[in-house]
Amino acid sequence: MKKKKKKQKRASRDMNEIHKNLETLNPVSSTLFILAKPNHHTATAHIHCRPPKRGKSTWGLRLRLIRHIKLDLPPNLLRMFTKYLHKLKMSKSDRSIAKGAKAARLQRNKMMREQKRAAILKEKRASSGSSSPPRVIVLFGLSANVNLNSLEEDIVSLLSEDRNGDVFPAIASPEYKLRATVLKSPHGDLLTCMEMAKVADLLAFVASPNSLSEADDTSNFIDSFGSQCLSVFRTLGLPSTVVLLRDLPDDLKRKHEMKKICTSTLASEFPEDCKFYPADKRDELHKFMWLFKEQRLTVPHWRNQRSYLMAQKVEVTGEAGTSEKCTLVLTGYLRSHGLSVNQLVHVAGAGDFQLSKIELLKDPCPLNTRKGVDLMDSESDVVTCITPDPMMQEPLIVENIPDPLAGEQTFPTEADIAESDKTRKEKKMKKKKLPIGISDYQAAWIVDHSDDDCSDSDEGEDDGMIMDDKENSFPEQTRDNEFDDDQASLNLRDSDEETETESMIEDGDNLTKEQIADQIRKIKEAHDEDDEFPDEVDTPLDFPARKRFAKYRGVKSFRTSTWDPKESLPSEYAKVFAFDNFSRTQKHVLAKALTMEQETDSCVPVGLYVRLHIKDVPADIASKICILAKRMPVIATGLLQHESKISVLHFSIRKHDTYDAPIKAKEELLFHVGFRQFVSRPVYSSDSINANKHKMERFLHPGRFSVASIYAPISFHSLPLIALKSQGQDSSPAVAAVGSLKTVDPDRIVLKKIILTGYPQRVSKSKATVRYMFHNPEDVRWFKPVEVWSKCGRRGRIKEPVGTHGMGHEMHTKWRPSAA
């Protein structure tokens, strides 16, 4: 005990001496070692000190003094100690450089913060200033019991008390320093609600306690249509959202309780920053409008990439009966970005067109009344007129001009196609001369060599395994091109008969209700069978399998086997456009759009009230747009470079939760891709990450993502996708699938895969006899090079056929374990 006390006293005395010496070094170092000074009651630090040589007090001496100290410190103090040692080692010049780097870093961070602050202020001024376009407020009732008419009248009367029967859609409020357009979405009209949501700056969902049932079921705040629209809005991308509560009780206590119930019930359906406001009284709406005026609005990213215009007026110029073409005139505020007169524009529901001129008009709804009075002094409404430059205007190119000499395949001419169709029809109508005493059933077994030659020539037309069998699906966008649904070899009508499930749907115009119900039942059965036994098909009994599946080839490994993407392409594939590097092209196009927006001579700034003159619009389409303008917003958007050209688009898609009917490949769907909408017949395939080949899917199965491939105008991602399925002329379309644009790639390989199945009859250790896979020995010999396998992982080769006739033909298979 005495020795231990002597060691503690010696250690304490040495520690005090060290601290006295360190006090001459630096206050920081002294504080550091004072923190490390051990407690006498709990000695946790072991000190081994050797006094340095006495001499002149210099930095080197002080550093040597610290090096002679050995302390068992905690990790955090040890890091501080090491950092201080490195600092002492640095020379004055090094320390000045470090200080300069730190100062530069702080200055750079300060500049970045100021740039972000300036960008936010610029965006806020652009969205809420006097030069910004009117904000679009869309009122959407979550249930059919919500009365939107009264709410719309209250908001309009609050914004403009002295309206005096003015019918202009936009309203200017000097009190709130705000311009707004209030749109009321019709409950039950899905297409109109979607178009309104695409242009909404604020999506105001309206809930009412009146929608609750007598059992006080809180789930009735949102009905089935409201839930469906909510999922669609989420896919499109929600702008700034708010929930307005109507028809709350007058009693304060009950009103507070009902507001809490609504908030807790509906909070999970909306974003986290979504606010709930009561909107029954004028004071409550007044508070909401002030908060809305100061709110920084957020819109989906895909809307910020392009300029667009929501038409306030739709007119048609030109003599109606003299020409098939006319000029469509759309008037409204330009939003998001500036629009160049040399750009192409897309009118939703009509197609892509060129501009003949853009007229800048007086603002009919100015927020600054003095500015409006000054503009009204002039007689003409047109302030400026901008015309396109023929040398700079973007050409309306839809198809690529094919080079018949490029590529491996020979492109047939129109005369060759017409002659082939004529020969095929004549052979179908031609009757065979049968020998006397031969019935029609017996004649089916007579081999006709001319038919064999014809089938052999048909085999080389296309390869059924490459799933580029997509029909042309945009009749409005490709009105001038040569894509034909009946002639496109991508349709592969002949290969549609390769499975029974692909030839079930017939023309339903002349079918009875019982026949339609029977077809629907067959499709559902085929969907369930494809889900349980994917890719498995039965060999036909009355047709040789070697001819039936002549367009297929045996692939040893779906993942590693090579496949040339340019092999056996149809002639129409030469008309599509492709990019060497799509991502790089997209960057260049977006950069060019920003450069074009800086041009003052041909570009119209955002926020101005303009009149677009769209030329060469078909007269029937223009009349259709005029009728649609009375029911839903008509949207015109500026196209980026290349966005009018045709290519192969691939979408990541999944079946919607509310759609129960099976969706078959190449079934007609209405695609809404951003502001575009067109009819399409997509082909579905799996998204194989580790392979460059993708398996075609005959149905779009629920609960998983697939890739839908179509012919469509080029679009730069990311764009949302809503696929609608028509349910007849009287009923509105249903949401069948949702997704987003994945890529634009004509070289993506999609293969149609089939599996021929049989049943084992006799099994030995290394051999098996399988029946019902083929029905004649020639087919067995034909498929001998193809490897066979079992579901348990056994693999082998076909050895020989057994038997000579009938359905009992069998084969021996030599088995070996699977190389997994």
DSSP structure string for 665-733: TT--EEEEETTEEEEE--EEE---SS-SEEEEESB--TTSEEEEEEEEE--PSP-EEEEEE---SSSPP
What lies within 8 Å, CB to CB, of 249 at 6+ separation is: 209, 255, 258
| pLDDT tens-digit series, residues 52-97 | 455 444 545 454 545 555 555 566 666 666 666 666 666 666 666 6
- Residue 540's pLDDT is what? 83
pLDDT higher at 80 or 13: 80
Whether residue 806 has pLDDT greater than 50: no
Q: Residue 456, by phi and psi: left (phi above 0), alpha (psi -120 to 50) or beta?
A: alpha
Residue recorded with tokens 């045709």: 646
Q: Which two tokens stand for residue 662?
A: 């099976």
pLDDT bracket for residue 103 (50, 70, 90): confident
| pLDDT tens-digit series, residues 431-457 | 555 544 444 544 444 444 333 333 333
- Residue 813's pLDDT is what? 52
- Residue 128's pLDDT is what? 66
- Residue 198's pLDDT is what? 94
- Residue 358's pLDDT is what? 93
What lies within 8 Å, CB to CB, of 780 at 6+ separation is: 774, 798, 800, 801, 809, 811
- Residue 371's pLDDT is what? 56
pLDDT bracket for residue 566 (50, 70, 90): confident
Residue recorded with tokens 């819109």: 299
| pLDDT tens-digit series, residues 512-549 | 767 767 777 777 777 777 677 778 888 888 888 888 88
Letter for the amino acid at 278?
P
CB 221 within 8 A of CB 212: yes
CA atoms within 13 A on the CB side of 717: 17
| pLDDT tens-digit series, residues 208-233 | 887 664 444 445 788 889 999 999 99
Separation between Cα atoms, residue 626 and residue 606, nearest integer Å: 25
Percent of the chain with pLDDT over 70: 68
Whether residue 166 has pLDDT greater than 70: no
| pLDDT tens-digit series, residues 791-804 | 787 888 888 888 76
| pLDDT tens-digit series, residues 240-297 | 999 999 988 888 889 899 889 888 888 888 988 899 999 888 899 999 998 888 888 8
- Residue 464's pLDDT is what? 32
CB 129 within 8 A of CB 296: no
- Strand locations in 379-487, DSSP E? 382-386
Strand 275-278 to 609-618 pairing: unpaired
- Kindly tell me the burial class for residue 742, based on how many C-beta atoms sit within 10 Å of its own C-beta (0-12, 13-18, 19 or more): buried
* pLDDT mean over 168-186: 87
* pLDDT mean over 574-583: 89
- Residue 15's pLDDT is what? 55
- What mean pLDDT, rounded, does the chain reach? 76
Q: Measure CA 8 to chain center.
A: 74
Neighbouring CB atoms inside 10 A of 507's CB total 6
* pLDDT mean over 774-778: 84
What lies within 8 Å, CB to CB, of 525 at 6+ separation is: none
Whether residue 313 has pLDDT greater than 80: yes
Whether residue 24 has pLDDT greater than 50: no
pTM of the model: 0.71
Helix (H), strand (E) at residue 6 = helix 2-22
pLDDT bracket for residue 113 (50, 70, 90): very high
User: Taking the C-alpha atoms of 788, 790, 793 and 799 in order, what is their torsion angle to the nearest 10 degrees?
Assistant: -40
Domains of the chain in start order, with CATH, are: 2-89 (no CATH), 129-299 (3.40.50.300), 308-398+587-637 (no CATH), 758-816 (no CATH)
- Residue 588's pLDDT is what? 93
Residue recorded with tokens 């349709």: 491
